[in-house]
Every structure is written in structure tokens, then in C-alpha cells.
Amino acid sequence: MTSRKSATGTTAANSRNAKPIRVGVIGVGRGSNFASSATDLVGLKLVAICDSWEEKLKEAGKRYGVATYADYDKFLEHDMDAVVLANYFHEHAPFAIKALAAGKHVMSECSCNGTLAEGVALCRAVEKSGKTYMLAENYPYTQFHMEMRRLYRTGELGRVTYAEGEYNHPMEPVGLKQLSPGLNHWRNWLPSTYYCTHALAPLMYITNTMPQKINGLSIVAPEVTQSLPRVNDPGSVILCRMDNGAVFRLFGLWLPGHSNWTRVHGTKGAMETTRGPGYFGPGQVRVWHDDWLREPGQPAERTYVPDWPEHADLANRAGHGGGDFWTSFEFANAIRSGKPPYLDVYRGVAMSSVGILAWKSALKDGAPFDVPDFSKESSRKAFANDHWSPFPSHAAPGQPPPSIRGKITPDRAVVAQARAEWARDGYTGA
């Protein structure tokens, strides 16, 4: 396949010829994907890893042949250019701020901030440091989402008016417990709206819009949660009013019925990913137009498997539908060019804050909440002391519950069974 220049104007071949960017990764679980992708193919070189789970850390250190650290402050003293954060979902901002202050570029996986105050602090830290910050949200970088972005930018669909994003990823109870060992593990407390970036990021990437107002509703399903030591709800719906007036609907998170789907309606037509089995379905794009809006010679409907815009060989070998290659690739290009990546700190914090604000809305049965413009100090400063959070590590008087049912105590027998399963997997904590 002929390689075209990316949005940053840098190709993978150019990255291989440049001096590699020395990178350290925190988190040897999910972080192993980033450690493996830090190669000359994207212009990154893994030099250090960090994790508090020392047994797993030693294994990873031998596997990659790099320095290992159980202490994050010592890790930041290592001679490196950038840090990739793949630690717990709600703990990224403090680690990112420390890394930025230490003169490192930062890529953060999945969520930027666990509170609105952290979002404000992170934006300020990026501005003060002058370093590159990127949210490693991989879902925009599937071949069908990249194709939908390309198609939208041609103007064929007109201006977006309505869009839907679904990321609903159910698992059998045993698998869910294995993913979240310990009663205070973040997954057991995660409000149903918080994990919204997989659904929202592709829509923002395709249409280049930003969220301005949020309504959220949480879904209670005791039949789904009763065999788990979880104290949260399994699903939610979020409505986002975007800055161009469009409305986006987001659905997730682990209700029965796997769904990973994107649809965009414009003033001239519509497009969607086709539904199907598997993590990303069959990977097709469907485009359709009403008869009275069709251009001469334009088909009423077409469905096709899109090509990658470039680097198909590398993307096809990467995880998450190619997204694990593209996030590392775009991060390296942003550092070299000095130009912020699309998923910069302002878009990343806005997306992450949608989940927080939607939870505030859900606890008020769908009341609307405004999303601040995190790129403007005048808009964000009102949230600089907003530490509202349901996670145990943020416990304080007046903090919210992780379920619209209030504070939940899991059944004793369920907890005992979970602890026995965690012990068999090597986890002996609370």
C-alpha cells in the first residue's frame, strides 16, 4: 500500500531514521502493549518500566531488558524523554503532573483526570511545562473510524446533526472478577458514565466537535451485578450537546449484548460502522443518502471495507484494531514536530470530564451540566477545587456514591467467593 503523510506530516520511515525518543512506561499490565510498541518502527525506545507489583515488574524487566522501578519518583530520574501512563484509570493526573514537572512528555491511557480539579491542574501543568501531552484513546484510530473522519471532511455528509457511539463490553462474571482484584479496585467502583471516551472520542475525531452540555442517566440491573462484589451500575446513556449544536448519544458499559458501534447523521447523509460479532465487528463502513439529497451519479447506499490511510502493515499487527500502533505513532510525531496531537490535553480532559459531569447528572436524574472550556483559564478556574469523586482513594465527607442506588454493600457470600478466586490468581489483598 502506498504510504501517505499523516496529519503531522511524518511517516514511519522518517521516524525510524530519527533519533529514538526514550520512553518509560508505568504499569506492566496494560502497559505491556505500550512497552512492546515502543520500537524504531514508531521512533520510540523503551528504557524503563515502573510498577508497584514487584513480582510482575521483575518478570517484565527481564522480558524487555530495561531498568525497573517500584518507586515512581526514582523512575522519573531515569534518563528518558517521555512517560506513558498505564496505571489505574482514575489516578493518571497526579502521575502526569509529576512527569511534566520533571521535564517529560506524557501519554496517558484511557482517562486524563479522576476529578474536575485534576483536569484543571493537568491543563495548567501542560501549559507551564511546554511539553507534549496526549490522551492514548485508541478507538478513533481504527481503520473504519479513520475512514469516517476522511469522508466527513470531504463534505459529502454535510454538517453533523446527530451521532451515536456505543462501547458496551460485557464479560462473564469470572472474567470481570479477574480484571478487578480487591474490593477497592477501581473497576468495582467505577460509575457507569466514567468510561465514556471509547464511545465519544471517535465521534469527536470524525466531526471535530467539542462537548458543551451533558445529561446522564444510569441503568440499574441487579440481575447483572448480584454475583459480583461491585458497588456500581452496569450501564448508562449520556447525551452531549456539541459546540455546533449537534446531539451525541453515548451508550455503555457492561450490560449483556456486546456493542461497539458508531453512527453519524449529517445535513446531506449518514454513515455508520456495520454491526457484527467480535471486538470491532467486521470493520465495514456504510454510507447512505436520501434520494432528494443525492449528488448526480452518487449511489443511494454503499458498504465497504476501508483501507488504512497509511502504514497498513504496522496497524494490522497492533492491538485494539490498530489503535495501539497509531497512538504511539502520533505521540512520537507530536513530540518531534512540536505540534499538539489531536488528542491533546484540552480534548482529553474535556472527554474525561464528560464522564464525571454525566455522573453528577445521573445522580440528579438527568439534570444538565455545562462542560467548561478547559483551554481557557477563565472557564476552568471555577473547578480548580472540585474534588468530587466516588472512588475510595478520594474518600472524604460529602463524596458521591458509585451507584444511583446509593452506597451498596455486596453480599457476604459473593465477597467470600471473589476473594477465593483472587487468591487462586495470586492476589492476597483486601
pLDDT score recorded for residue 77: 97
- Same domain (yes/no): 230, 287: yes
Tell me if 399 is assigned to some domain.
no
Domain final position from 112, 135, 158:
135
Tell me if 333 is assigned to some domain.
no
Domain final position from 135, 159, 191:
135
- Same domain (yes/no): 127, 190: no
Tell me if 126 is assigned to some domain.
yes
pLDDT score recorded for residue 279: 56
pLDDT score recorded for residue 4: 36
CA-based nearest residue to 401, from 218, 259, 203: 218
Instruction: Count Cβ neighbours within 10 Å for each residue of 294-329 and write b for 16 or more, e otherwise.
Output: eeeeeeeeeeeebebbbbeebbeebebbbbbbbbbb
Q: What is the dihedral of CA 35, 37, 40, 46, to 10 degrees?
A: -10
* Beta sheet of 44-50, edge-to-edge order: 67-69, 44-50, 21-26, 82-85, 105-108, 133-135
- Same domain (yes/no): 31, 148: no
CA-based nearest residue to 403, from 209, 194, 244, 248: 194
Tell me if 410 is assigned to some domain.
no
Domain count, the chain: 2
Q: Which domain holds residue 25?
A: 12-135
Q: Is the dihedral of CA 188, 193, 197, 199 positive or negative?
A: positive
Query: Cell numbers 466516588 correspond to what residue?
Result: 390
- Same domain (yes/no): 357, 217: yes
- Same domain (yes/no): 269, 386: yes
Could you give the CA distance from residue 62 to residue 95 in angstroms, rounded to a whole number?
25
Judge contact between 44 and 36, C-beta under 8 A.
no
Residue 292 CB coordination number (10 Å): 5
Judge contact between 125 and 112, C-beta under 8 A.
no
Helices (H), 9-53: 12-17, 31-37
Domain final position from 119, 135, 151:
135
Q: What is the CATH number of the domain that holds 112?
A: 3.40.50.720
Which pLDDT tens digits describe the chain residue by residue (430 residues)? 233 334 444 455 455 557 899 999 998 877 677 766 767 778 889 999 999 878 888 888 899 999 999 999 999 999 999 999 998 889 999 999 999 999 999 999 889 999 999 999 999 999 999 999 999 999 999 999 999 999 999 999 999 999 999 999 999 999 999 999 999 999 999 999 999 999 999 999 999 999 999 999 999 999 999 999 999 999 999 999 999 999 999 999 999 999 999 999 999 999 999 987 655 566 799 999 999 999 999 999 999 999 988 888 887 777 777 788 899 899 999 999 999 999 999 999 999 999 999 999 999 999 999 999 999 999 999 999 999 999 999 988 999 999 999 999 999 999 999 999 999 988 888 7
- Same domain (yes/no): 35, 183: no
Q: What is the CATH number of the domain that holds 202?
A: 3.30.360.10
Tell me if 111 is assigned to some domain.
yes
Secondary structure of 194-251 as H, E, C letters: CCCHHHHHHHHHHHCCCEEEEEEEEECCHHHHCCCCCCCCCEEEEEEEECCCCEEEEE
SS3 46: strand
Tell me if 322 is assigned to some domain.
no
- Same domain (yes/no): 304, 185: yes
- Same domain (yes/no): 228, 208: yes
pLDDT score recorded for residue 6: 43
Tell me if 420 is assigned to some domain.
no
- Same domain (yes/no): 279, 202: yes
Phi, psi for 277 (deg, rounded to 5): -75, 165
Judge contact between 28 and 56, C-beta under 8 A.
yes
Alpha carbon of 308 to those of 118, 283, 329, 423: distances in Å?
36, 11, 14, 44
Query: Cell numbers 505513532 correspond to what residue?
Result: 329
- Same domain (yes/no): 96, 169: no
Cell of 357: 459531569
Judge contact between 176 and 228, C-beta under 8 A.
yes
- Same domain (yes/no): 215, 302: yes
Judge contact between 361 and 367, C-beta under 8 A.
yes
Q: Please enumerate in sequence order all residues whose Cβ is within 8 A of that of 84, keeping only pairs 6 or more positions apart, or say none.
A: 23, 24, 25, 26, 31, 34, 38, 106, 107, 108, 109, 136, 331
pLDDT score recorded for residue 2: 32
- Same domain (yes/no): 206, 113: no
User: First-to-last CA distance in the chain?
Assistant: 52
Tell me if 192 is assigned to some domain.
yes
